[in-house]
Chain A
């Protein structure tokens, strides 16, 4: 059981380039989330999805787009990368949203550097 898998694990981009981060989960979870983690700051929610075909904005959505065309996949796109988007990105999934017996399961993270 792989859980939550993020690809790629590392990436270096130049300013203005675009890329897509892929998150895949094999637990049949309805809810999926994209976070960024920066030094000295807690995890911040970028976008999330409450089911296939749905997406919603989180705390820091600007500069990112997402899609959930299949239940098991949640894609995070950067259309025109900026140095401020240098961060570690985590994907997570859960069966329910914010319920005590349904924790979020996290991927291993993607380290993204924008030069």
Chain B
């Protein structure tokens, strides 16, 4: 049983498409973290949120605490968005297995 579930596991999109990655969790958390891992392996933080919605450029993250669900949206997707996106519940520490996104020109 995974405390954090992501869907889909793999996603291929055409450049310009709107993308949604979903994350559901089964534990009580203090915050949810969205991370991006590029093919080279480095991991960068995109968002941390405990309620509502956050936006940074073409990326939007939302969270519904009651439903224990978060989504990461990418508007006007671009090939440079190709990466693995990971959601993580913090306190306690549980990570999803990631969504591998490929954006085709």
Which residues from chain A sit less than 8 Å from chain B, CB to CB? 33, 35, 40-45, 48, 58-59, 88, 90, 92, 97-106, 108-109
> Could you pull out 8 A-B pairs where Cβ atoms are within 8 angstroms?
A41-B97, A42-B94, A98-B31, A100-B31, A100-B50, A101-B48, A108-B41, A109-B43
**Nearest CB in chain B to that of A58: its residue:** B93
Is B86 a contact of A42 with CB atoms below 8 Å? yes
CB contact under 8 A between A100 and B91, given known A42-B86, A106-B42: no
- In the complex, the answer to whether A106 meets B43 with C-beta atoms within 8 Å is yes
| Any A CB within 8 A of the CB of B45 | yes
CA of A33 to CA of B31, assembled, Å: 17
Q: Knowing that A98-B30, A106-B42 touch, tell me 6 more A-B residue pairs with CB under 8 angstroms.
A: A35-B95, A42-B96, A59-B93, A88-B41, A97-B90, A106-B45
Contact B42 A100 (CB under 8 A): no
Residues of A within 8 A of B91 (CB): 97-98
Report yes or no: B97 in contact with A102, Cβ–Cβ below 8 A.
no
- Interface of A (DSSP majority class): loop
Q: Which residues of B come within 8 Å of A, CB atoms?
A: 2, 4, 29-31, 33, 35, 41-45, 47-50, 86, 88, 90-91, 93-98
Q: Are A105 and B90 in contact (CB under 8 A)?
A: no
Please report the C-alpha to C-alpha distance between residue A43 and residue B50 in the assembled complex, in whole angstroms. Answer: 20
Most chain A CB atoms below 10 A, which of B31, B44, B96: B31
Query: By the criterion CB–CB under 8 Å, are A43 and B49 in contact?
Result: no
Q: Given contacts A98-B90, A100-B50, is CB(A42)–CB(B31) below 8 Å?
A: no
Instruction: Report A-chain residues with C-beta under 8 Å of the C-beta of B88.
Output: 42-43
Q: A42-B4, A43-B86, A109-B42 are in contact. Are A104 and B33 (CB under 8 A)?
A: yes
